[in-house]
Amino acid sequence: METLRVSGKSRPNSVAGAIAALLRSQGEVEVQAIGPAAVNQAVKAIAIARGYITPDNLDLFVKPAFVKLELENEERTALRFTVKSQPLSS
């Protein structure tokens, strides 16, 4: 599964395009964010991506979780959003 790392300076529309492309091709993607600004951008990107995949008759669901990451010899807590696509229910 592909992992996208989102920062507080990430552009939500760009991240949403990457999420939508991976959902179309692989059916799932993992989005990681550390800090409140990054989580904000990630959530906005996921919401925008939902609109991007709707014309393809797809919807998405998200499972958020905390994950410990080792960055520069320091343990950090990140939010991981596992995003999966499913056929749009009528």
Give residue 13's pLDDT band: very low, low, confident or very high (50, 70, 90): very high
Q: Which two tokens stand for residue 35?
A: 């800090």
Per domain, the residue ranges of the chain are 3-87
Which candidate, 18, 90, 39, 10, places its Cα nearest to that of 2? 18
Distance CA(13)–CA(15), nearest Å, equals 6
Beta bridge partners of 71: 74
The domain at 3-87 falls in which architecture?
2-Layer Sandwich (3.30)
35-89 pLDDT, tens digit each: 999 999 999 999 999 999 999 999 999 999 999 988 889 999 999 999 999 998 7
